[in-house]
Structure 1
Amino acid sequence: MSNYSNDNTARRYKAHVSILGTTQLHLRNPYIIAWWSAAFPGFGHLILSKYLRGYALFIWKVVVNLYSHVNLSMVYSFQGNIDMAKEILNTRWLLMYIPVYLFGIWDSYRTTVDMNRVYLLAEREEHSFNSFALGSLEINYLDKRNPVFSVIWSLFIPGLGQLYIHRILTALFVIIWLVIFYYNLHALKAVSLLFLGKIKEATSVLKTEWLLFIPSHYGFAMYDSYINTVK
């Protein structure tokens, strides 16, 4: 592998190293990518480094979910209160939620299949790509990193695993939205009450409609950092 920059002398490259991150093509299972889009629209596209589309679907998911009260309805369903789950739903927003949700799953699957084909063609060309980027704000280079560390840091704070492997755009997006989720969830206030032994107060202070965003956020951060470290 040489340190030549991508100068458009080849039709396809397997990777590109810039100060904002390392973008790479590799074979992915389209069903797994589609599953991440089902878990949270936008995540499947972020794994594929389709950032603009991923950001748009993610923000759309959060806004429409909150206004349609989907998460709150799910909480009531988990509690067995089906009537309240139906009553709380805002159908004006829900009708916008479903088609875009399905589009995210379909488009991430389709894009994965296309990108797998592009990777196979790029692998045949075997064209050199840059492995070092130096700029006024940052330095990025290819080196060997431990995927276990990526998972551990993502488990502490989602986004740190991406910073470890220099995926700056994904890291910033994940960390900023984690702060938004934690703030509206009142998570730190609940943790403080929990340390004081006030379990009921800690539970009651949580905003459950924001709580259901957290598991997918953590899961995505760990999976994305792990799989990209391995590749």
Structure 2
Amino acid sequence: MKHITYQTHKRHKAYVSLFGTTQLHLRNPYIIAWWSAAFPGFGHLLLSKNITGLLLFIWEVYTNIHANINVAMVYSFTGRLEEARSILDTRWALLYIPVYLFAVWDSYRTTIDINKVYVLAEHQNEPFDIFKMGALEVHYLDKRSPLVAVMWSILMPGSGQLYIHRIIIGFFSLIWVVVFFYQSQFLPAIHFLFLGDIPSSTSVLNIEWLLFLPSIYGFSAYDAYVNTIENNKLYDREQADFLSQNYQQYRFSLKQRL
């Protein structure tokens, strides 16, 4: 007679690696979907689905530039509708729309699924490593200041992620913000503005690339702020579990508030 063994699948709340801390926590699906609508890829990056997020991000930039969507938006907002219609490349715009809608839908669906997995992981409460050291990097779980993370993100997108050790997102944000600065001629425009030469400051700007900057600034600040808070919560919970398992008397019972 065969014995049937049931395998219990372990669900960890977090994973600490040399490239950062990846964790599960409850998220609002509408907020994640909104970030995907603001810039495809951002919603997935907030969910730590880095490969999908980076692919959608690159697709957004490449297709947007070829379809002249940002320029058409500027013309539309300023009432120049005929120029917006003439400059929009429908060959690329029709390719842009399906992927854009997929990014919003998939980020919303994935958020709901991850929230369900988080509930199971919270119930199992499996332990995880909080310290990683290798030849290239050292990473450990500790508490950081959310305001400091936001401050660095405002000064330079990606710096806030490096502060909380989100290496992949931080490196990616730094590279792309340099590309946006260079292509949009934003820094030369600021230079002319400081000199009082306003006509040169406005004429040198490349609006097509400039419109990418607000999105990456907002995402970098929001991502750094939210992940700093969630990392701090994870640190407090891990410390509480460690103290209760190693120093709390077995007869003592304390109900934890989640």
Q: Give TM-score, length-normalised by structure 2.
A: 0.85
Greater radius of gyration (CA): 2
Cα pair 1:155 1:222 within 8 Å, conserved: yes
**How far apart, in 2, do the equivalents of 1:85 and 1:63 lie?**
19
Fraction of identical pairs, as percent? 60
**How far apart, in 2, do the equivalents of 1:27 and 1:64 lie?**
32
**How far apart, in 1, do the equivalents of 2:208 and 2:115 lie?**
37
| Match status 1:42 vs 2:50 | no
Q: Deviations over 1:23-69 (max 9, x none)?
A: 01000000000000000000000000001100100000000000000
Hey, what does 1:88 align to over in structure 2?
Answer: 87
Q: Deviations over 1:100-127 (max 9, x none)?
A: 0000000000000000000000001011
1:108 corresponds to which letter in structure 2?
S
| Match status 1:132 vs 2:131 | yes
Hey, what does 1:151 align to over in structure 2?
Answer: 150
Aligned residues: 223
**How far apart, in 1, do the equivalents of 2:210 and 2:85 lie?**
20
| Match status 1:205 vs 2:201 | no
Q: Deviations over 1:156-187 (max 9, x none)?
A: 00000000100000000111000000000011
1:17 aligns to what SS in structure 2? strand
1:78 deviates by 1.5
Hey, what does 1:19 align to over in structure 2?
Answer: 18
**How far apart, in 2, do the equivalents of 1:158 and 1:112 lie?**
24
**How far apart, in 2, do the equivalents of 1:193 and 1:126 lie?**
57
Residues 104-143 of structure 1: pairs in structure 2 closer than 5 A: 104-143=103-142
Residues 153-168 of structure 1: pairs in structure 2 closer than 5 A: 153-168=152-167
1:14 deviates by 0.3
1:10 deviates by 5.2
1:225 deviates by 0.3
1:144 deviates by 0.7
Which structure has more RCO (C-alpha within 8 Å, separation ≥ 6)? 1
Once superposed, which parts of structure 1, at least 4 consecutive aligned residues long, lie more than 4 Å away?
A: none
Gaps of 5+ in 2: 1-7, 231-258
Cα pair 1:10 1:127 within 8 Å, conserved: no
Cα pair 1:14 1:119 within 8 Å, conserved: yes
1:41 aligns to what SS in structure 2? coil
Cα pair 2:130 2:141 within 8 Å, conserved: yes
Cα pair 1:14 1:122 within 8 Å, conserved: yes
1:19 deviates by 0.6
Gaps of 5+ in 1: 1-8
Q: Give TM-score, length-normalised by structure 1.
A: 0.95
* Aligned residues: CA RMSD: 0.9
1:80 corresponds to which letter in structure 2?
G
